[in-house]
Structure 1
Amino acid sequence: MYHTWMRYFTPGPQHLRLGLVCLGVGLQHGTLPTVGPRTLDHHVAVVISAGGGWYRSADGRRTTVTAPAVIWLTPGVPHHYGPDPATGWDESFVDFTGPATAAYTELGYIDPERPVVPLADASGARGAVGRITRAARRGNPLLVVETAAAVHELLVALRRARADITPEGDPVLAALTRDACGPLSVAEHAARHGLTPAELRTVVRRGAGCGPKEYLLAIRLGRAKELLAGTDLPVAAVARRVGYEDPAYFSRLFTRRVGVPPVRFRARQSRTVPGGWSTSVPDPAHPPTIPTGPGL
């Protein structure tokens, strides 16, 4: 016995400019029929939240699937999978396509080389699928855009839930974030963690979807933006704070990556922050509020 519910959509060409669009969503559980062998022309994320089964790749290799896990089906790749006939599984699937899939693949959110990825927890992914199913109600005029937004959310949730990445993130990435504005080279960062530069690249790409230089640069530029927008420090001082002794080089780099010089960025974004600039993240349940009342 099994139970299944599904909806399929046909987004228009203009919706593809959103980057990702949802083509279908389904919720199923029980001893479901075997899928394939087949080949698709789009991506599918199959989230297994309970039970287990198997996946067979085009070369005949069979992989055991144990919940929680995600099975990635990618365009042009033959696949064959199904639940254990004795136990079945709980499955939700999302079909999607769009030009942004290339970027998500390059960043490691979708990994064609690992069609079966163990998850630490499937609740975040199930929540994103739930938003797609609610948006899929008949007559919803915002159907395509709502479901497209939820596909982005789903990919992030699956990335965050991977069993090989802790909720706090990789400790090497945490150390790189902490020390990004220091004078260390990539090779020196690697040595501090007992890694070769090549091993560090593998760790950072697995955890952040980019190389160490790009990761460090993004942190430095983000910090520079905060200092430019939230303080009156001269540009040269900002450059030194984020690890650049040559302010001219920093200005050229900032302009090339941000699109405007540091001075112009400050003019556009500068804010007077009473009480100082906070580095703590507000609690979403208790966001900052503007005091009100007599005399305020």
Structure 2
Amino acid sequence: MYHTWMRYFTPGPVHHRLGLVCLGVGLQHGALPPVGPRTLDHHVAVVVSAGAGWYRTPDGRTRPVIAPALLWLTPGTPHHYGAGHGAGWDEAFVDFTGTAVGAYTELGYIEPERPVVPLTDTTGARAAVTRIARAARRGNPLLEVETSAAVHELLVALRRARADTATGADPVLAALARDAFLPLSVTQHAARHGMTPAELRTAVRRGAGCSPKDYLLGIRLGRAKELLAATELPVAAVARRVGYDDPAYFSRLFTRRVGTAPVRFRERVGRALPGGWSDRVPDPEHPPVIGSRPSA
């Protein structure tokens, strides 16, 4: 005995330009029949929140699936899986495709080489699936855009829930973020962690989907933008605060990565105005709470 609910969509050409589109969603539980063997032309994320089952790889090997877990079904790859005997399992699935899939794969959010991924929990993923299911009501004029946004949210939730590299639990990334503004090379950062540069690159790419240099640069330039937008510090002082002793090098790097020079960026987005709500840049670790204005 099993229960199933599913909806399928056909987004138009304009919706495909959003980068990700949702092609279908389903919620099922119980002793579900096996799926496949089959091959698809799009991606499917199958989130197993309770129960257990199996997944058979293209070479014929069978791997156990124990909730909470994720099954990645990728285009062109044969797959065959099913719930275990007895009570079966609880699953939610989302079919999707789009040009942004390549970027999410390069960043490590989608892992074609790992069809079975252990998760710490499925709360965030199930919330994103629920949003898709609610948007699937017939006659919803925002269907394609709402479900597209929810697919992005789903990929982030699944990345956050991965049991091997749970967000916030990676000491290497946390330490790099803490030390990002020190004038250190990647080799020096690696030495501080007792690692070789190659080991550091592997760890950062696994955790953040990019190289240590790009990870540090993103943090530095983000802080530089905040200082340029909310203070009147000279560009040279901003450069020093984010780890660059040479302001000319900082300006060239900023211009190349941001697309505009630091002084132009400040002219365009600056908020250091008299009478503003704050005279300093808030601590990134303690952002202000957005809510109602306190009563006088």
> By the TM > 0.5 criterion, same fold?
yes
Q: Over residues 110-139 of structure 1, what are the superposed CA-to-partner deviations in whole Å (9 max), with x where a residue is unaligned?
A: 001111110001010000000000000011
Q: Which residue of 2 aligns with 1:77?
A: 77
Q: Which residue of 2 aligns with 1:158?
A: 158
Q: Which residue of 2 aligns with 1:58?
A: 58
Read off the aligned partner of 2:108 and give its amino acid letter.
Answer: G
Q: Over residues 152-193 of structure 1, what are the superposed CA-to-partner deviations in whole Å (9 max), with x where a residue is unaligned?
A: 000000000111123423110000001111121111111211
Read off the aligned partner of 1:265 and give its amino acid letter.
Answer: F
Read off the aligned partner of 2:241 and give its amino acid letter.
Answer: R
Name the CA distance, whole Å, in 1 between partners of 2:156 and 2:49.
Answer: 17
Q: Which residue of 1 aligns with 2:47?
A: 47
Name the CA distance, whole Å, in 1 between partners of 2:202 and 2:210.
Answer: 9
Cα distance, 1:288 vs structure 2: 4.8
Alignment of 1:229-244 (within 5 A): 229-244=229-244
The CA RMSD over aligned residues, in Å, is: 1.3
Contact 1:52 1:87 in 2 (8 A): no
Q: Which residue of 263, 281, 291 maps to 1:277?
A: 281
Residue ranges of structure 2 left out of the alignment (5+ in a row): none
Matched, 1:117 2:117: yes
> 1:291 and 1:269, CA in 2 relative to 1: closer, same or farther beyond 3 A?
farther
> 1:291 and 1:51, CA in 2 relative to 1: closer, same or farther beyond 3 A?
closer
Question: TM-score by structure 2 length?
Answer: 0.95
Name the CA distance, whole Å, in 1 between partners of 2:60 and 2:191.
Answer: 41
> 1:187 and 1:62, CA in 2 relative to 1: closer, same or farther beyond 3 A?
same
SS in 2 for 1:14: helix
Cα distance, 1:291 vs structure 2: 5.5
Name the CA distance, whole Å, in 2 between partners of 1:105 and 1:22.
Answer: 17
Name the CA distance, whole Å, in 2 between partners of 1:247 and 1:152.
Answer: 37
Cα distance, 1:266 vs structure 2: 0.7
SS in 2 for 1:23: strand
Aligned residues: 290
Cα distance, 1:241 vs structure 2: 1.0
Cα distance, 1:207 vs structure 2: 1.0
Read off the aligned partner of 1:246 and give its amino acid letter.
Answer: D
Q: Which residue of 2 aligns with 1:247?
A: 247
Contact 1:282 1:288 in 2 (8 A): no
Structure 1 residues 216-225 or 57-66, which shifts more? Answer: 57-66
Q: Which residue of 2 aligns with 1:263?
A: 263
Q: Which residue of 1 aligns with 2:196?
A: 196
Name the CA distance, whole Å, in 1 between partners of 2:121 and 2:176.
Answer: 26
Once the two structures are aligned, what percentage of the paired residues are identical? 75
> 1:141 and 1:288, CA in 2 relative to 1: closer, same or farther beyond 3 A?
closer
Name the CA distance, whole Å, in 1 between partners of 2:269 and 2:119.
Answer: 40
Name the CA distance, whole Å, in 2 between partners of 1:222 and 1:60.
Answer: 47
Read off the aligned partner of 1:281 and give its amino acid letter.
Answer: P
Contact 2:19 2:99 in 1 (8 A): yes
Name the CA distance, whole Å, in 1 between partners of 2:39 and 2:10.
Answer: 19
Contact 2:25 2:95 in 1 (8 A): yes
Residue ranges of structure 1 left out of the alignment (5+ in a row): none
Read off the aligned partner of 2:146 and give its amino acid letter.
Answer: E
Contact 2:227 2:281 in 1 (8 A): no
Cα distance, 1:61 vs structure 2: 1.9
Contact 2:18 2:148 in 1 (8 A): yes
Alignment of 1:83-98 (within 5 A): 83-98=83-98
Read off the aligned partner of 1:223 and give its amino acid letter.
Answer: R
